């Protein structure tokens, strides 16, 4: 993926972040997921008064892509203040589809970026082989 394509993905994540529904934490997160076919799906976090029902931006983007028939993913940009990184649940769900996924972690206020492989963030993912499947 070229630098220009990565910039476009980051811009999509930043735009998605503006749609976040975060009245409780005020922590807005946006994600943009690029499929192997080249399509981009965005997501934002959607909070709920019952915190356990909150949906992370990464899973929103993934669910949109899967609901459109996509199953293979190459790159995920996550945009948030601080040190954005997917939670454990998102790491597991992303791993289910693309263990080799590359993540761009972007803090727009500090103008910081990190590029990391999902397997680096999540070296011991639960796998279907653990179920005997």
Which residues are the active-site residues?
A: 58
State the DSSP H helix or E strand holding residue 15, giving kind and residue range, or none if neither.
Answer: helix 3-17
Of residues 28, 21, 20, the one with CA closest to residue 81: 28
- B/e letters for 93-121, b = 16+ CB within 10 Å, e = fewer, are bbbebbeebbbbbbbbeeeeeeeeebeeb
Q: How many whole angstroms separate alpha carbon 84 and alpha carbon 104?
A: 9
| 5 to 19, 22, 60, 116: CA distances (angstroms) | 22, 28, 21, 17
Q: How many whole angstroms separate alpha carbon 16 and alpha carbon 11?
A: 9
């Amino acid at each position: 993926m070229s630098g220009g394509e990565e910039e476009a993905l980051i811009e999509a994540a930043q735009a998605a972040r503006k749609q976040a529904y975060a009245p409780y934490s005020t922590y807005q997160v946006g994600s943009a997921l690029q499929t192997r076919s080249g399509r981009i799906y965005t997501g934002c976090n959607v909070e709920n008064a019952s915190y356990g029902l909150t949906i992370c931006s990464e899973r929103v983007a993934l669910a949109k892509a899967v609901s459109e028939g996509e199953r293979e993913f190459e790159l995920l940009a996550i945009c948030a203040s601080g040190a954005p990184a997917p939670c454990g649940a998102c790491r597991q769900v992303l791993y289910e589809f693309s263990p080799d996924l590359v993540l761009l972690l972007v803090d727009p206020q500090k103008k910081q970026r990190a590029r990391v492989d999902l397997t680096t963030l999540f070296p011991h993912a639960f796998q279907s082989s653990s179920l005997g499947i």
